[in-house]
Amino acid sequence: MITLYHCRDARSFRALWALEELELAYELHVLPFPPRARHEGMKELNPLGTIPVLFDEGHRLTESSAIPHYLATKYGPTPLAVAPDEPGYADYLNFLVMGEATLTFPQTIHLRYAVFPPPEARRPEIARDYAEWFGSRLRNAETMMDGEYAAAGRFTMADVSLGYAIKLALSIGLAEFVTPAMQAYFDRLAARPAYASAMAAQLREAR
Ligand SMILES: N[C@@H](CCC(=O)N[C@@H](CS)C(=O)NCC(=O)O)C(=O)O
């Protein structure tokens, strides 16, 4: 049985959404945030102390953009992954990684200076700088998209990765950086039944 350790609305949502898209059976543990401080045994689950942590047949994955691709390629064939011999393969891989490495990264630095510390330790100037950096990166990403989805002219795991970055922006006060076109793109993704199932699953299991 696939087991996923997740915190509500955190990056591990990518893994949860992917599991739902693939209609795989899984066991979900929703941990309090931050898990490193609030979940005993977290370091044994993942030495990095972060979520997601996904276990599958003795393998452990801890990267939220790798997990959707891993699941799609392992449990496919499915149109949710793009194969190397398809024309959209390069865009697929690029957007899959971009969602986390390029877009979520500045958002989390923003959170680190704007939200997580106690008010007296916050650094609004730095936080704003990272928010704007995220915004310019998202606008640039938009110019690289060709059509309704990130790659291959269809919904894929690259959209799970990219879509989560927009979901996060909308939930942490960075909506001003989401252009109308990217908002419309996100609305398309969020209308998928698997997205709703993932949202419901994390609430069902939350403690
Ligand atoms: N690059 C990793 C980052 C994982 C990560 O930093 N996860 C955050 C949640 S969004 C976390 O667990 N933070 C808690 C901590 O660092 O203590 C990924 O994409 O999964």
Under the banding of pLDDT at 50, 70 and 90, the label for residue 205 is confident
Ligand 1 atom 2: residue of nearest CA? 63
pLDDT digits (tens, 9 = 90+) for 131-145: 999 999 999 999 999
Question: 87 C-alpha to center of ligand 1: Å?
Answer: 32
Same domain, 68 and 106: no
Question: 143 C-alpha to center of ligand 1: Å?
Answer: 27
Same domain, 103 and 158: yes
Which mutation among 5, 8, 51, 61 tests ligand 1's pocket best, with the greatest number of atoms within 8 A of CB? 51
What is the pTM assigned to this prediction?
Answer: 0.97
State the closest ligand 1 atom to the C-alpha of 33, by its place in the atom list counted from 1: 14
State the closest ligand 1 atom to the C-alpha of 36, by its place in the atom list counted from 1: 17
Same domain, 150 and 60: no
Domain that holds residue 170: 89-192
Upper half-sphere CA count for residue 167 (Cβ side, 13 Å) = 23
State the closest ligand 1 atom to the C-alpha of 65, by its place in the atom list counted from 1: 19
List, chain by chain if needed, residues with CB within 6 Å of any ligand 1 atom. 10-11, 34-36, 49-52, 63-65, 100
Task: Evaluate if residue 47 carries a pLDDT over 90.
Answer: yes
Residue 207: per-residue pLDDT: 56
Same domain, 95 and 186: yes
Same domain, 103 and 162: yes
Number of domains into which the chain is organized: 2
Question: 63 C-alpha to center of ligand 1: Å?
Answer: 8
Which mutation among 50, 61, 70, 168 tests ligand 1's pocket best, with the greatest number of atoms within 8 A of CB? 50
Residue 206: per-residue pLDDT: 67
Same domain, 132 and 168: yes
Question: 85 C-alpha to center of ligand 1: Å?
Answer: 32
The tokens 């990166």 sit on which residue? 137
Work out the average pLDDT over 8-30. Answer: 98
CATH of the domain at 141: 1.20.1050.10
Which of 35-39, 136-140, 164-168 comes out lowest in average pLDDT?
35-39
Percent residues over pLDDT 70 in the chain: 99
Same domain, 144 and 106: yes
Same domain, 101 and 60: no
Residue 146: per-residue pLDDT: 83
